[in-house]
């Protein structure tokens, strides 16, 4: 029959399309501040390890990931059998959804939070309970704990939270864990933990695994380790069962050989991690100060990105427009689009808040010092224009 497309499963229609960053076609002279990557390339040692691995690419990668598991086990002092791996930590999140959720089940997460969380209820038919962030754009852990019911299978906590950059102290997380029954999986997504002064030492949360077998701490090599293009994430698990379940629902070779080798080598260079964190935190302070000096509200950032609200500049912008707006929300959304477009014209790519659950906001990655200055100069022009 003509005019009929392929008939897909109902769930495929429900799954939101991941809001990918644009601008990969804009050439080199662009400040890529839209995806929270590291501005630093892999070290020569990591490049050498990758090229050794690629030389043996006729073989499948090690399906037991023994070197990487061993390196992570040593680093975090937990048994290798309790380390789940993935093609990025997003791969583990999606596998967790598949392993844990089904129609009738519920999962609880804050909103706005990491956009991939939305995939889990859509793909599984489980019910999402989205708990609004508080006025400071932080997780409201009390409200989240209050949403746990007999149907809850999964609670997701994003610390620091993407896209709002705010972090929770570990005591709050501990108190939530105390209120969640032991058969409910809690994923603590710590993709940005190295940058957090509030959350503190990245090893501190790992101690929680000794008390909560239902806890999974999710980490990634895509941020501070600068390996986003190779895709490696891992989950430190309170018990082995989570790891075996997420392995069951995936293909056997989910982390390629180059990525495994790069991650093992990158772990050996913690001095480099510390150097990157220091450079990022210094650039972040400058960026936040500059944006605040333009009269805009900026969330307390504990990550390698910042989150700002345009609300306090919308009246000035509206007064300069030659059109009228029906209401504040429409004006704010139009202002956001105008700023995002203006930044792009000036070679700065950032994430629009509208795509992340809050119109009139923006998420901006902390890049190199020059990139941050390029962003703040462009924003100043656009706010004052
Ligand atoms: C909070 C959070 N978790 C997980 C991820 C996934 O990262 P990856 O799949 O690259 O490990 C991201 C990426 O942006 C993130 O922001």
The overall longest dimension of the chain from CA atoms, in Å, is 64
Mutate to test the pocket of ligand 1, among 220, 233, 304 (most ligand atoms within 8 A of CB): 220
**Cβ–ligand 1 contact at 310 (below 6 Å):** no
How does pLDDT run across 260-279, given as a tens digit for each residue?
A: 999 999 999 999 999 999 99
**Cβ–ligand 1 contact at 114 (below 6 Å):** yes
How does pLDDT run across 34-65, given as a tens digit for each residue?
A: 999 999 999 999 999 999 999 999 999 998 99
Going by alpha carbons, the residue nearest to atom 3 of ligand 1 is: 191
Note the helical H segments in 36-130.
44-55, 66-76, 89-100, 119-124
Question: What's residue 342's pLDDT?
Answer: 96
Q: What is the DSSP letter of 165?
A: -
Mutate to test the pocket of ligand 1, among 90, 165, 187 (most ligand atoms within 8 A of CB): 90
Question: What's residue 19's pLDDT?
Answer: 67
How far, in Å, CA of 51 to CA of 257, rounded? 10
Is the distance from CB of 312 to CB of 303 less than 8 angstroms? no
Question: What's residue 385's pLDDT?
Answer: 65
Average pLDDT over residues 191-198: 95
Average pLDDT over residues 67-73: 98
**Cβ–ligand 1 contact at 86 (below 6 Å):** no
Q: State which H helix or E strand residue 14 sits in.
A: helix 10-14
Q: Is residue 84 helix, strand or coil?
A: strand
Tokens 């989570």 belong to residue: 242
Is residue 248 packed enough to be buried (19+ CB in 10 Å), middle (13-18) or exposed (0-12)? exposed
358-to-30, 107, 156, 268 alpha-carbon distances in Å: 25, 21, 20, 39
Question: What's residue 203's pLDDT?
Answer: 93
- pTM for the complete prediction? 0.96
Average pLDDT over residues 6-16: 89
Would the pLDDT of 21 be above 80?
Answer: no
The two three-digit tokens of residue 335, written as one number = 């202002």
**Cβ–ligand 1 contact at 233 (below 6 Å):** yes
Closest CA to 22 of 350, 356, 358: 350
How does pLDDT run across 289-308, given as a tens digit for each residue?
A: 999 999 999 999 999 999 99
Is the distance from CB of 275 to CB of 194 less than 8 angstroms? no
How does pLDDT run across 346-356, given as a tens digit for each residue?
A: 999 999 999 89
Would the pLDDT of 121 be above 70?
Answer: yes
Would the pLDDT of 18 be above 80?
Answer: no
Question: What's residue 27's pLDDT?
Answer: 72
- Residues 6 or more apart from 12 whose CB is under 8 A from it? none
Would the pLDDT of 3 be above 70?
Answer: no
**Cβ–ligand 1 contact at 38 (below 6 Å):** no
- Judging by DSSP bridges, how do beta strands 185-189 and 215-220 pair with one another? parallel
Count other Cβ atoms within 10 Å, centred on residue 24: 10
Would the pLDDT of 244 be above 90?
Answer: yes
**Cβ–ligand 1 contact at 205 (below 6 Å):** no
């Amino acid at each position: 029959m003509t005019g009929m497309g392929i008939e897909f499963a109902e769930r495929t229609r429900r799954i939101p399309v991941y809001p990918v960053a644009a601008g990969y076609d804009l050439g080199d002279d662009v400040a890529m501040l839209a995806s929270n990557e590291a501005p630093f390339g892999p070290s020569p040692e990591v490049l050498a390890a990758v090229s050794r691995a690629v030389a043996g690419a006729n073989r499948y990668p090690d399906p037991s990931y023994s070197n990487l598991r061993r390196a992570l086990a040593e680093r975090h002092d937990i048994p290798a059998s309790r380390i789940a791996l993935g093609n990025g930590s997003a791969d583990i999140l999606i596998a967790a959804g598949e392993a844990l959720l089904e129609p009738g089940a519920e999962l609880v997460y804050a909103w706005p939070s990491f956009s991939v969380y939305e995939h889990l209820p859509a793909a599984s038919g489980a019910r999402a309970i989205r708990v609004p962030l508080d006025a400071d754009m932080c997780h409201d852990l009390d409200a989240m704990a209050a949403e746990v019911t007999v149907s809850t299978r999964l609670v997701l906590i994003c610390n620091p939270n993407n896209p709002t950059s705010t972090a929770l102290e570990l005591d709050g997380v501990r108190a939530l864990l105390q209120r969640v029954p032991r058969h409910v999986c809690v994923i603590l997504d710590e993709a940005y933990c190295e940058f957090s002064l509030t959350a503190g030492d990245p090893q501190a949360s790992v101690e929680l695994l000794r008390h909560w077998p239902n806890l999974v701490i999710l980490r990634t090599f895509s941020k501070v380790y600068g390996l986003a293009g190779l895709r490696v994430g891992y989950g430190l698990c309170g018990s082995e069962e989570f790891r075996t379940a997420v392995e069951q629902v995936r293909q056997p070779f989910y982390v390629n050989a180059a990525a495994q080798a790069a991650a093992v080598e990158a772990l050996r260079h913690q001095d480099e991690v510390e150097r990157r964190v220091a450079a990022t935190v210094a650039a972040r302070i400058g960026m936040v100060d500059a944006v605040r000096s333009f009269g805009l509200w900026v969330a307390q950032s504990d990550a390698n990105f910042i989150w700002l609200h345009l609300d306090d500049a919308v009246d000035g912008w509206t007064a300069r427009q030659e059109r009228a707006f029906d209401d504040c929300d429409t004006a704010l959304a139009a202002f956001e689009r105008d700023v995002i477009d203006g930044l792009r014209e000036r070679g700065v790519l950032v994430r629009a808040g509208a795509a992340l659950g809050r119109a009139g906001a923006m998420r901006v990655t902390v890049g190199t010092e020059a990139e941050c200055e390029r962003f703040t100069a462009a924003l100043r022009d656009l706010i004052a224009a």
